[in-house]
Structures are given as C-alpha cells and as structure tokens.
Amino acid sequence: MITIKHLSKQYINPDGTVFKVLKDVNCEINPGEVISIIGPSGTGKSTFLRAINLLDPPTGGEILFDGENILAKGYPLNKLRQKMGMVFQSFNLFEHLSILDNVTFAPMKLHHLDRRQAEEEAMAMLRKVGMAEKANAMPSDLSGGQKQRVAIARCLAMHPEVILFDEPTSALDPTMVGEVLSVLRQLASEGMTMLIVTHEMKFARDVSTRIFFMNDGIIYEDGTPQQIFENPVHSATKAFVQRIRKAVFEVDGPDYDMLGVHSQMDAFCNKYHIADKGVAAGRIVDLVAEKVMPTAYPYTLRLTYSELNDVASLDVMKERLEASPLLGADAGVAEELRRLCREIVEEPTTRGFRVKFIL
C-alpha cells in the first residue's frame, strides 16, 4: 500500500548548520496493519508521519502510494490526502462549524454528497465515537477527549484507506485518554489501516500488529509488539522499552510539603494510568510518615513504574539504617501496609536500608 524508500528530511538552522530530522527511513505498510511508532522525543516520529501525507514535505527519498510516487511533480496531493486521513495532537476541529458540520463539511464539498446523505453518514460516524448527542454543539463547548473523538469521526467520514494519528492523546487530560484509546482500539479491530505515533506503551503493545521503534532519524527496529517489547534486538530499543519511570521525594523534617508530595504522586500515577495504585501509595506514605517513622528524618520516597511489565513500586529509603523500620512498627500498622500492596521487600543497601512496597 505505502512503500517508503530512503526518506530524509533536513532543516537548515538560522546559523547555517544542517539539522537532519529524518536520515534514511525505509518501510512497507500493508493494508490492515496497525503500526505504532514509538521512540524517544525528538527522533522524528511526528515528522515522519507528517512527511507521509506531505504536510511536512521530505527533502529526499521516495514515497509510493499504491505504486505511484507521490513526490512526483503534478501528483494530485489533495486527492491523496482524501484517501489518507490524519488526526492531530491538537484536534484542529473547524472552529466556525458545529460538530455535525465539521463531519459533513469535507464529504459535501469534496465528495459532493447532498446534505441529507452527508448528515446521515455523519450521524453514523458520530454514533460510532459516542458523540452523536453533541451533533449541534460547537467545538468550543467540548472537552479535549470529545474533540478528539469528533476529529476521528470527521476523518472517518471521508472513508480513508489509512489514517495517520499524530500523538492523538498527548494533549489530553489523563482522565480523557481512555475514551480516545478505546475508539482507536475499536477501529483497529475493524481492520482499519493505522499509523499511530504514541507514548502509550501499553496501548501500543496491546493494539498494534507492528511497532516501529524510531531513534536518531531512522526506524531503528521494526517488528511485532512481542519482538519489540520482549526480545528487542538492539540495546537502544531495550533501554527504551524497559525504561523505568520514577519520581523521587525527600522527606526531610516534620514540616515537609505533604500535600505537594501527594499531588505530584497523583499526577505521576495519572500520567501512566495507574491511578488506583496511586491511592494505595498515598496511604502508605501517610502511614510511614505518621506511624512507622514519625521521627526518622530525613528519608527518601521513590515511586517507580515500569511500563513494559506494568509494575509500580514505592520505595522508602533511609541512610545509615541497618534493620527494617517495619520491625518496630505496630502490628496493626504492619498488617494494613501488607494489605495495601502486593509484596513488601525489605533489603539493606550499600548506604542504608530500603523497604520496597510493590503495588
């Protein structure tokens, strides 16, 4: 369907130096594939996606769509883009049109559908993304997640052969990510060809048929989710997929910023969709501070999350301590702590002692 050969893109900085965003991208995309493009920020994922429909035209290489070189002079770009939908990070709904008009606008103007037909179809698409009841609202009346679902419906109304998703959930409040991802899941299950630039590792692993790991301007590794997440060939891929997210807080006195710590921990958990674990972590932090180590300042709290294994843990670390602080704790408190987590690991470290609550 889409064949990409030696695609490159470079910018010339104001100081005259050349910055190569895409160096040499090669791939083949087949109908029905759901491809997630992952990788560290600034490695050209979005640029690559936007090069495919020439919103950011590449500076070198070839893109073949159904065997035709779309970079050739005179290729009807607007026709290509009608077959190649795009969903943006910032939704970009047409602000001057109602939700229904947003969906019917392009089919009416470009496919010359009459209004009745276009509206019927638009309502079907809006129902599909759960936005039918907002058909007469204006974009400014909607939340981010709702806007993004309308944007997907707008895209679907053109019956594209492939849809490009440019970080569709990155601009969303964590509570709204789910509604958009579930629409994407549904589309994938219906066999839509999709290219998704995303930071949602779990989603990428669950939904994709294929993963592109992009790094340093090239597709570093291309494989099934299983291969990329469990048996990566390259060390860079491994480092990326196995990277552990963490947040560290210092508790250095009775007047530490208790509310600040809680809210930052909540934000961290929301970001990685482990809000339920955040509740337990918050309770543990309180218990430790009030009952277990009420005078043992300073100590360090560390919240970690491995996206690959979906494992989160809360570490309580104290320097120059040789025995577990839990030993001296009240039995009831110890019991409650045990109930709040899956497992408690108590281990000495080179500098002190660490209690690890696996959530």
Partner 1 sequence: MTLRELGKKVRLTAACVAVALAFAGCSGGGPKAVEVSKASDLAGLRVGCTAGSIYEMMLSQRADIELSTFNAPSDDVEALVSGKVDVMVEDDTFMSPEEMARTGIKLAFRGKTQFPVAFAFSKGNAATAPVREGLSRFIDSLRGTGELQKMYDRWFECDTPSRVPMPDLGPEPEGKPIKVGLVVNMPPIAFSVGKDWRGFDPEVLLRYSRYAGRPVDINYVPLASATTALQTGNIDILCGGIFVTEERQKTIDFSSVHYYAYPGFFVRAAGAAGVQAGFWERMRQTVHNNLIVEARWRYILEGLWETVKISLLSILLGSLLGAGVCWMRMSRRRWVSQTAKAYISLMRGIPMLVFLMIMFYVVLAGTGLSATMVAVVAFALNFAAYVSEMFRTAIDSVGKGQTEAGLAIGFTRWQTFVYIVAPQALRSVMPVYKGEAVSLVKNTSIVGYIAIQDLTRASDMIRNRTFDAFFPLLLVTVIYFVLAWLLGKLLDLTVRNTAKK
Positions touching partner 1 (CB under 8 A) are 53, 55, 78-79, 81-82, 85-86, 88, 90-96, 105-106, 109-110, 154-155, 158
**Cβ nearer to partner 1, comparing 35 with 106:** 106
Minimum Å gap between C-beta 78 and partner 1 is 5
- Find tokens 């050739």 and name the residue: 72
Distance CA 55, CA 229 (A): 31
Q: In angstroms, give the least distance from the CB of 93 to partner 1.
A: 7
**Pairing mode, if any, of strands 60-65 and 68-69?**
antiparallel
Give the residue with the Cβ less far from partner 1, 139 or 278. Answer: 139
**Least distance to partner 1, CB of residue 76, Å:** 9
Output the smallest distance, CB 96 to partner 1, in A: 5
Give the residue with the Cβ less far from partner 1, 162 or 269. 162
**CB nearer to partner 1: pick between 111 and 246:** 111
Q: Which residues contact 127 (CB under 8 A, 6 or more apart)?
A: none
**How many whole angstroms separate alpha carbon 204 and alpha carbon 250?**
34
Helix extents (H) in 69-156? 77-83, 99-110, 115-128, 144-156
Smallest gap from residue 41 Cβ to partner 1 (A): 20
Residue 110: CB minimum distance to partner 1, A: 5
Nearest to 333 by CA among 284, 270, 280: 284
Under DSSP, the state recorded for 134 is G
Q: Beta strands 2-12 and 218-223: pairing type?
A: unpaired
Minimum Å gap between C-beta 86 and partner 1 is 4
Residue 1 contacts residue 29 (beta carbons within 8 Å)? yes
Place of tokens 């309180």: 286
Identify which of residues 151 and 274 has a Cβ nearer to partner 1 in the complex.
Answer: 151
Cis peptide before 58 (omega within 30 of 0): no
CA separation for the pair 6, 349 (Å, rounded): 50
Question: Which of 86/214 has CB closer to partner 1?
Answer: 86
Which residue's CB is nearer to partner 1, number 105 or number 297?
A: 105
150 contacts 103 by C-beta, under 8 angstroms: yes
